[in-house]
Amino acid sequence: MKLLINNTEYRMQSDFSFVEQAGATAVFSLKYDARDRIILSAYGFSETEAYGFSETEAYGFATGDTEAIVFPSPFDEVKITDDDGTVLFTGVIGIPSSPQYSTGFETRVFSLQVQSANTLLQRRTVNEAWQGKTTSFIVNELFTKYIADEGITLGGISTLTFEYEVYTSARLYIADILDELAAPVGATWHIDAQKRFWFQVKDDFTTVLAPEHITKLQKTVSSLDSRTVQIISGAKQQTSEQTETFTWVANQSSVTVNYPLVQTPTITINGSPVGVGVSGLDDTDASKTFLWSNESATIKLNSNATTKPSAGDTVVVTYFGYFFIEIEQLNTAKIAEIRATTGSSGRIERVSTDTSIESYTDGLAVANALLERYADADETVTCELTSLTNTDIMTVWTFNKPDFDIVGDYVIVKRTIKRLTDDLLRVTLELKNKNYWMKYGTVYADFDKAITSLSIRSDTVIVKPERTSVSDIDITSTIVGYGGDVIQYPTTGAYADPIIIEEFYPTI
């Protein structure tokens, strides 16, 4: 085994161990000997005292030669290769530690906390918004605009038709976005040892028969997340078109409708339509009589408006709003099974709060999918072997060991490699039968692939300058913002009245 730090070779200590896993950053420690990068005479040794080497044997350096000692630094790239040069692991240094110095003659053995390459996606943020785009489209754009910039090449992205009505990322880390995008479609992501990025569903994983020569085979069954009753709280349902009538009174400054608004309302005064703008954006626009805010039931009077209602005027507001719903779905077959076996009610209730769901249909789909997903326990298989063949993360092993109650497909989600002897490695694997896209310690209950579309943070405003230097931005630069149902493009052109999702071009 060879250790390369920024492509310079060092010697690892014999007790090395390194880890990688899907969808999350693996962290481990290793030690390496820096003596082969240091002139031995720098320690004060004479030619014959140089660890027993002659002048010409002293790592290729003659006594008296000089070379700067390169100390490890955070963010340095780490690679571990086999003797043939095949890269087995790629990552970055997290925390380097030097030896404890007392005399100045200590052996230069450094300790490193190393993070797997997935950590590269935990230090970049994304400020983007997509409308009517599929998971595959968004992931491909993330790769092109952000991930490739980290020196990462494309391994593969599954073709997925799951579509987001709106997906907004306001300074979220790429890793968190990938977690969020993976959950609804049952995908997982990973950066492999060759620094290739993968975002795939199980159908695109490599599937092989589990090898025969494995040891320490064990299956663990967890029912901590099992449930027979699924409750979805925090979901929203859009109302039908609502019409409410108000009689204006003196000094009135706003009206409050029965439901929070989800799009631009239509408002009339004594039967005549008046302009309606977005609060905070159109306050100085005299043509906007009223101002509304997304998810607010209050509509304000614009104090700068030319047309305003007078006392006794009839104000009619026509709008679409939303109301909160709670969904309870039962797995009646499982309830009956548990009741018959244990004599209990059979009800194992779980509550999931998900404010991103905006229809009863989607909420029901989530509840049904969660009941199906957690009807039976999760299975985790661990084992050891001495070969690296077919042990890459996201490889599917098909087991047929009924005597051990291990039958079916299990996905490799974690791999640990240790030195067994000078010639053999000990490879420890962790495989899961389902929920393999979850990073450790995380439970995704918000989304499921049974839903055909979602809106994520649709009320978030994204302001993204075209140029990165503030001093370079001029009056014709593009700043695209998305907030609720209004898209704004600063321009020197004409003005158009926004109607729901219609484009809005404010003049300057």
The pLDDT score that the predictor gives to residue 184 is 76
The pLDDT score that the predictor gives to residue 50 is 39
Instruction: Look at the alpha carbons of 152, 442, 324, 362 in this order and tell me if their dihedral is positive or negative.
Output: positive
Collect all residues with Cβ–Cβ distance below 8 Å to 103 and sequence separation of at least 6: none
Mean pLDDT of 167-189: 85
Of residues 108 and 92, more confidence is placed in: 92
The mean-pLDDT minimum among 57-71, 76-90, 144-158 falls in 57-71
The pLDDT score that the predictor gives to residue 242 is 94
Q: With 50 as the cut, is the pLDDT of residue 78 above it?
A: yes
* 3-state percent helix, strand, coil for the chain, nearest multiple of 5: 15, 40, 45
Confidence of residue 486 (pLDDT cuts 50, 70, 90): very low
The answer to whether the beta carbons of residues 191 and 310 sit under 8 Å apart is no
Q: With 60 as the cut, is the pLDDT of residue 96 above it?
A: yes
Alpha-carbon gap, residue 190 to 6, rounded angstroms: 22
The pLDDT score that the predictor gives to residue 506 is 46
Q: With 90 as the cut, is the pLDDT of residue 396 above it?
A: yes
Q: How many helices (H) and strands (E) does the chain have?
A: 4, 34
Judge residue 388's burial from the number of C-beta atoms within 10 Å of its C-beta, 0-12 exposed, 13-18 middle, 19 or more buried: middle
Alpha-carbon gap, residue 368 to 444, rounded angstroms: 14
Nearest to 31 by CA among 339, 419, 411, 297: 419
Chain-centre distance for alpha carbon 402: 37
Q: In three state form, how does the secondary structure of 321-350 look?
A: EEEEEEEEEECHHHHHHHHHHHCCCCCCEE
pLDDT digits (tens, 9 = 90+) for 411-433: 998 898 887 776 778 899 999 88
Of residues 489 and 275, more confidence is placed in: 275
Q: With 70 as the cut, is the pLDDT of residue 201 above it?
A: yes
Alpha-carbon gap, residue 332 to 335, rounded angstroms: 5
The pLDDT score that the predictor gives to residue 170 is 80
- Give 379's strand partners: 221
Residues, the chain, total? 508
pLDDT digits (tens, 9 = 90+) for 442-484: 433 333 333 444 455 554 444 444 333 333 333 333 333 334 4
pLDDT digits (tens, 9 = 90+) for 490-504: 444 444 444 433 444
Alpha-carbon gap, residue 28 to 310, rounded angstroms: 71
The pLDDT score that the predictor gives to residue 500 is 38
Q: With 80 as the cut, is the pLDDT of residue 505 above it?
A: no
CA angle 473-476-481, nearest 5°?
A: 80
Mean pLDDT of 376-380: 79
The pLDDT score that the predictor gives to residue 70 is 62
Alpha-carbon gap, residue 327 to 353, rounded angstroms: 11
Q: What is the CA radius of gyration of the chain?
A: 31
Alpha-carbon gap, residue 466 to 443, rounded angstroms: 37
The answer to whether the beta carbons of residues 495 and 504 sit under 8 Å apart is no
- Domain coordinates in residue numbering, the chain: 2-117, 121-218+381-456, 229-237+324-373, 240-320, 465-504
The pLDDT score that the predictor gives to residue 215 is 93
**Cα dihedral 79→83→84→90 (10° resolution):** -10
Q: With 90 as the cut, is the pLDDT of residue 5 above it?
A: no
Which position has the token pair 């730090």?
A: 5
The mean-pLDDT minimum among 151-160, 381-390, 464-473, 480-489 falls in 464-473
Q: Provide the whole-model pTM.
A: 0.58
The pLDDT score that the predictor gives to residue 371 is 83
The pLDDT score that the predictor gives to residue 21 is 80
Q: With 80 as the cut, is the pLDDT of residue 207 above it?
A: yes
Question: Residue 152 carries which DSSP code?
Answer: P
**Cα dihedral 312→316→317→318 (10° resolution):** 180
**Cα dihedral 477→482→487→490 (10° resolution):** -20
pLDDT digits (tens, 9 = 90+) for 328-338: 889 998 899 88
Mean pLDDT of 338-354: 87
